[in-house]
Amino acid sequence: MRLVIFREGSFFTIWALDLSVHPDPEDCPAKSFFAALERSSQRTLTNLLTRHADKGAIKNDKKSRHLGDGIYEFKTTQGDRLLYFYDGLGTTILTHGFQKGAQVQAEIKKAKDLRAKWRSSPGGKNFRDSLEGRSRTR
């Protein structure tokens, strides 16, 4: 498991979980979800992600909200949901997406499971160690 960069900003770097072991082929649920969306939904999410990356956490619950246990969602008016969590200084990690109407509790559980796998993986541990080292040198 590893991370691929999704968006960089002055406040946050947004990463997406890639479940593959090797770079090719990529198995990135968030990127696959995003690529399958209609253009209007892609534009809405791009604007939300850019604003989040550049300005910080979005405070409008109609656009982004905490679902519980450290899992959050970006939302579009078209019913698209992109789940994420924070993992260290200036780090947002996207897990996957789904359409409104799905079993939200099952989607939250999936995001929590992916977060746990990431944090226990060698890549996750090394990533957090590098963030801690970076924050100590600032």
pLDDT tens by residue, 55-76? 999 999 999 999 999 999 999 9
Find tokens 């999936």 and name the residue: 110
Instruction: Confirm or reject CATH 3.30.505.10 for domain 2-127, answering yes or no.
Output: no
Q: pLDDT for 11-43, tens place per residue?
A: 999 999 998 877 666 789 999 999 999 999 999
Domain boundaries in the chain? Answer: 2-127
Give the pLDDT confidence score for residue 31 in this predicted structure: 93
Residue 46 has a CB neighbour count (10 Å cut-off) of 12
Bigger pLDDT: 125 vs 79 = 79
The neighbouring-strand residues paired with 2 are: 18
What is d(CA 53, CA 101) in angstroms, rounded to the nearest whole number? 27
Asked if 48 and 36 count as a contact pair (C-beta separation under 8 A), the reply is: no
**Token pair recorded at residue 103:** 């079993």
Find tokens 């999704």 and name the residue: 6
**Token pair recorded at residue 120:** 């226990």
pLDDT-based confidence at 121, cuts 50/70/90?
Answer: confident
